[in-house]
């Protein structure tokens, strides 16, 4: 526990150092935050337009769908705010920057994830929390202490699933040797589909969202919270899925590190 606390303390100092660097260009950071807010608001407008025409999406009511949307936005926000460096892994590998990280007495994966910070993550996280707060007053859930604790656990599990997917998809750069990670970008784009109940998609799309498994960021956790039959039963395993995803992504990253042999000159 003492070692874990030390790792977390160093990681926080890395992030705070980058915050100070970002705030040197406050206008740029503010523009990025505002652009992120507008992007997420566009999604909310889309949902509002849809539910102005139909009362529900299958057995999902308006505020239940907004809950799914908010969980995904929150996970993306925390990921960008705390683990944005994952997206720079391909550059580290391609330019040999990973060599510098390997000689430091700190886990390479954590150095990569904490190497930068996405200012837009702050607005996404705040917006996600705000939407969850409003949706919590509109959904048919008895918010007792146990239910609240379960909801928090599901949200944290969704964040971990999203982090694991991001780390694993970017780790493919060890094999592709490209300065950009196209597979990671593709997976991130697919994540937009996970903002809505996967029952609205075809069987093939549902299978992709389960296998990757983006559906465990918002859909299955929400189904468990709202008691949505089979989907709710599957959603109850979200914490275990999150643990398996983190372990798998970490093992995949270590396999990539064993493959890494610098870039020469």
Q: Which residues contact 50 (CB under 8 A, 6 or more apart)?
A: 57
Counting other chains too, the contacts that 54-63 makes at CB distance below 8 Å and 24 or more residues apart are: 57/196, 57/197, 57/199, 57/200, 58/197, 58/199, 58/200, 59/228, 60/197, 60/199, 60/228, 61/139, 62/138, 63/135, 63/138, 63/139
- Residue 7's pLDDT band (boundaries 50, 70, 90)? confident
Ranges of H-type helices in the chain: 2-22, 26-53, 62-83, 89-95, 98-102, 108-113, 120-136, 145-171, 173-176, 182-190, 203-211, 219-226, 229-235, 238-259
Which of the pair, 206 or 23, is modelled with greater confidence? 206
In the chain the first and final C-alpha atoms are separated, in Å, by: 42
Which of the pair, 160 or 34, is modelled with greater confidence? 160
Q: Please determine, for residue 135, whether its predicted confidence score (pLDDT) is greater than 60.
A: yes
> Is 14 a domain residue?
yes
Q: What is the pLDDT averaged over residues 76-88?
A: 88
Q: Please determine, for residue 264, whether its predicted confidence score (pLDDT) is greater than 60.
A: no
Q: What is the DSSP letter of 60?
A: E
Would you state the pLDDT for residue 246? Answer: 95
CA distance 146 to 264: 56
Looking at the structure of the chain, the number of domains it has is 1
- Residue 161's pLDDT band (boundaries 50, 70, 90)? very high
Q: Which of 19-28, 61-70, 213-222 has the lowest mean pLDDT?
A: 19-28
Would you state the pLDDT for residue 117? Answer: 79
> Is 264 a domain residue?
no
pLDDT, tens only, 210-236: 999 999 999 999 999 999 989 999 999
Q: Which residues contact 210 (CB under 8 A, 6 or more apart)?
A: 198
Would you state the pLDDT for residue 234? Answer: 94
Burial class (CB in 10 A: 0-12, 13-18, 19+), 244: middle
Q: Please determine, for residue 82, whether its predicted confidence score (pLDDT) is greater than 80.
A: yes
Question: What's the domain range around 152?
Answer: 2-259
Q: What is the pLDDT averaged over residues 85-104?
A: 86
CA distance 223 to 237: 11
Q: What is the pLDDT averaged over residues 234-250?
A: 95
Q: What is the pLDDT averaged over residues 141-150?
A: 92
One-character DSSP codes across 108-160: HHHHHHTS---THHHHHHHHHHHHHHHHHTTSS----HHHHHHHHHHHHHHHH
Choose the most confident range, by mean pLDDT, from 36-45, 182-191, 232-241: 232-241
Would you state the pLDDT for residue 37? Answer: 73
> Is 265 a domain residue?
no
> Is 245 a domain residue?
yes
Q: Please determine, for residue 151, whether its predicted confidence score (pLDDT) is greater than 70.
A: yes
pLDDT, tens only, 95-111: 888 888 888 888 888 88
In the chain, pLDDT over 90 holds for what percent of residues? Answer: 38
């Amino acid at each position: 526990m003492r070692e874990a606390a030390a790792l977390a303390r160093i990681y926080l100092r890395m992030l705070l150092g980058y915050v100070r660097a970002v705030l040197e260009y406050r206008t740029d950071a503010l523009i990025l935050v505002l652009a992120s807010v507008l992007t997420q608001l566009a999604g909310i407008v889309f949902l509002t337009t849809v539910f102005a025409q139909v009362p529900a999406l299958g057995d999902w009511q308006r505020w239940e769908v907004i809950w799914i949307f908010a969980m995904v936005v929150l996970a993306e926000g925390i990921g960008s705010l705390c683990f944005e460096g994952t997206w720079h892994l391909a550059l580290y590998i391609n330019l040999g920057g990973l060599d510098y990280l390997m000689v430091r007495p700190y886990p390479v994966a954590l150095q990569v994830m904490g190497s930068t910070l996405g200012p837009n993550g702050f607005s996404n996280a705040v917006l996600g929390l705000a939407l969850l707060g409003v949706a919590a007053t509109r959904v048919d859930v008895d918010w007792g202490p146990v239910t609240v604790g379960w909801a928090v656990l599901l949200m944290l599990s969704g964040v971990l699933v999203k982090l694991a997917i991001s780390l694993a998809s970017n780790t493919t750069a060890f094999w592709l040797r490209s300065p950009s990670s196209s597979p990671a970008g593709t997976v991130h784009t697919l994540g937009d589909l996970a903002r809505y109940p996967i029952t609205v998609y075809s069987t093939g799309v549902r299978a992709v969202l389960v296998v990757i498994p983006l559906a465990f960021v918002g859909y299955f956790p929400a189904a468990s919270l709202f008691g949505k039959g089979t989907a709710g039963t599957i959603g109850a395993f979200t914490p275990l899925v999150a643990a398996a995803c983190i372990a798998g992504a970490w093992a995949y990253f270590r396999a990539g590190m064993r493959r890494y042999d610098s870039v020469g000159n």
